[in-house]
Structure 1
Amino acid sequence: MAGSRSSRLQSFQARAIGTLWRFLSGWSLKALWCVARRLGPLVHLLSRREREVTDTNLAVVYPDMPADERRSLARQSLCHSAATMLELGHAWIASPARVEAHILAVYGRDKLDDARAQGRGVIVLAPHFGNWEVLNFWLSSHFPFTAMYEPPKIADLEPIIRHGRERMGASLVPTNSRGVAALLKALKRSEAIGILPDQEPDWGSGVFAPFFDRPAYTATLLPKLVARTQARVVTGVALRVPGKGFVIHFLDADERVYSEDDVTSATGVNVSVEASIALDPAQYQWEYKRYRKVVEEAEGVANANDYRLY
């Protein structure tokens, strides 16, 4: 009985969310940004979890920034996070021509074209910055593109999300060994793949490397892919121009990402993410618990208070 109620609730939630996305897909980006600008301060005021994680991350990353500037940055960041959620209908459901028209410029495309001309695949590090779904839209519109995909917690949303992400030709693969094999095959075909570089992996799938000078548990998938394919690595972001559209940037990754040493490569990944954040720190998703895992936990030490942030 309880399972049946839970299933009905999830089905209702999925229908409600899907209806909202379809409704918002017809809104202008200017209107969506106007709503996001009002939601951000409300989230900061009313959501203790989002406020505390965002404020804690910013205090760690920008310790010398005056407190009032950090509070302002936190509210701006939550505005951009709200905008990303509101823009999902635009990225997934609006007509492809309309989405493409809102991509105002693309910088660094030559990095992808040159690598593929040399017979090399391209690994795109896509941090949670700006609107990463618009980045997925552009990449899958212009290149054979493969990315890992983890089904949503609300199972009934999966058809909508998969259709939105795959509609321009992207291939989604599972976050397991079968998915890694698919990524390798795509790179060996000189195609592009996407990796989330700033999401904490499960224990055993990462190492601690500095992220803004603080140890952060970072995935080690990248050096394995590079070693077996000689792929080129770039960082890709879709920078929001509020109310107008997006500017896509492809940046050369830090050279350390090509190291065979896991810690050195992970350090290069984190430095590459830092470089993309520098484009506009307010557009990074600071409410994610990037420092959740700590060194002491990995070493089995009981008292982890010295490093724990959350």
Structure 2
Amino acid sequence: MSNPPSSRFSRIFIQWFSRLSLSTLRGLGHVLARIVYHSGKANVVHNIKLNLAIAFPNMPEQERENLAFQAIHNEATSYCEFFHIWGADHARNLKLIHNIHGEQLFYDAIQSAQGMVLVTPHFGTWEIMNAWFAKHTNMTIMYKPVKRPELDKFVKRARSRDAAHLVPTDERGIREILKALRGGGTTVILPDHSPDQGNDMTPYFGVPLYSSRLSAKLIQKTKAHSLLVYAIRNAQGGFDLNIRDIAHVFKNKTADEATFALHQCLEQLIREQPQHYHWSYKRFHAHPDLRGLYDLPQEEALKRIEACRQSIIED
């Protein structure tokens, strides 16, 4: 059976869009950010402003408003950059990485052959990093299908072309990652996503939230190396890749203690460069008393957040 016209159109549009120059897509990201920000009614604007108010309650209002625009601009630009990265070949993407800070940390970890967990928060333009890491190590990465079929095919093909092995986000995927790490391979974990449920909670910007302990468990079971990695666009039309050693986060700790320490590490990075974090992500509803948080007016949502913060103090 042939694909319906809408499916063919989606495929053609995605391919055309991904072939635009990086500078053009960055320009489109800038325009899109202004449209979204000045609309004032977009859900993404509400979510970003609420998240910033939660994370930085003592920041002056005008400073936080300026930060909201910067965050919208950087996030919109990052998503436009993703399309260019997905559509470009391996060699072109490698050329876009201009500087690598902490490069020797990565080489040292590779030489040990103990496996490696790359901890990558929703920060900057993370898709550009796959090309460089896959050049040096065998990658096994969890992949959650995109809802739109044509876009899913496009993204899946792009992520797997660098010899990366994609596994599902379930128990089978975790088993494959454990096997890869024990064989000296590498995986990538997004540590700041929100599990659907959990037992214990981890404070994140002072709010107790269900949090994934996958990074801690993988590292502690396999003794793999752990590196915090992120990529930021630079003024020269490319990206700078940053690598930090975070072995101290997991050493001599339980999984709960390590998860807490990891979230403190993420907070530190975000406070250093808050404009590059993807603040549209609905991270702060991962608590039984915060369900539907992003559907509430900001004032009411912040009252619920404060009640959850007080529960930590009382405990």
Mapping 1:137-152, distance limit 5 Å: 137-152=131-146
Confirm or deny that 1:210 pairs with 2:203: yes
* Matched residue, 2:150: 156
> In the TM superposition, what whole-angstrom CA distance separates every residue of 1:91-112 from its partner, at most 9, and x where no partner exists?
1111322211111111122222
* Matched residue, 1:301: none
TM-score (norm 2): 0.85
- Contact 2:54/2:305, CA 8 A, preserved across alignment: no
Structure 1 residues 105 and 278 mapped into 2: Cα distance closer, same or farther (>3 Å)?
Answer: farther
Deviation at 1:140, TM superposition (A): 1.8
- Contact 1:24/1:87, CA 8 A, preserved across alignment: no
* Matched residue, 1:3: none
TM-score (norm 1): 0.86
Question: Whole-Å Cα distance in 1 between the matches of residues 9 and 276 of structure 2?
Answer: 27
Confirm or deny that 1:125 pairs with 2:125: no
Confirm or deny that 1:198 pairs with 2:192: yes
- Contact 2:207/2:305, CA 8 A, preserved across alignment: no
Structure 1 residues 15 and 64 mapped into 2: Cα distance closer, same or farther (>3 Å)?
Answer: farther
Deviation at 1:286, TM superposition (A): 0.2
**Kindly, what percent of the aligned residue pairs are identical?**
30
* Matched residue, 2:305: 307
Question: Whole-Å Cα distance in 2 between the matches of residues 33 and 242 of structure 1?
Answer: 12
* Matched residue, 2:172: 178
Confirm or deny that 1:247 pairs with 2:240: yes
Q: Which amino acid aligns with 2:27?
A: C
* Matched residue, 2:70: 76
- Structure 2 residue aligned with 1:40, among 21, 33, 41? 33
Name the Cα RMSD after superposition. Answer: 2.5
* Matched residue, 1:276: 269
- Contact 2:10/2:150, CA 8 A, preserved across alignment: no
Give the 4+ runs in structure 1 shifted more than 6 A. none
- Structure 1 residue aligned with 2:286, among 289, 293, 299? 293
> In the TM superposition, what whole-angstrom CA distance separates every residue of 1:198-241 from its partner, at most 9, and x where no partner exists?
1101213x631122222232101122212221011111101112
| Unpaired stretches in structure 1, ≥5 consecutive residues | 1-6, 299-303
Q: SS at the partner of 2:47?
A: helix
Question: What number of residue pairs does the alignment pair up?
Answer: 294
Q: SS at the partner of 2:200?
A: strand
Pick the structure with more helix per residue: 2
Question: Whole-Å Cα distance in 2 between the matches of residues 266 and 295 of structure 1?
Answer: 20
> In the TM superposition, what whole-angstrom CA distance separates every residue of 1:135-181 from its partner, at most 9, and x where no partner exists?
22322233211110111112333221111101111111001111001
Deviation at 1:187, TM superposition (A): 0.7
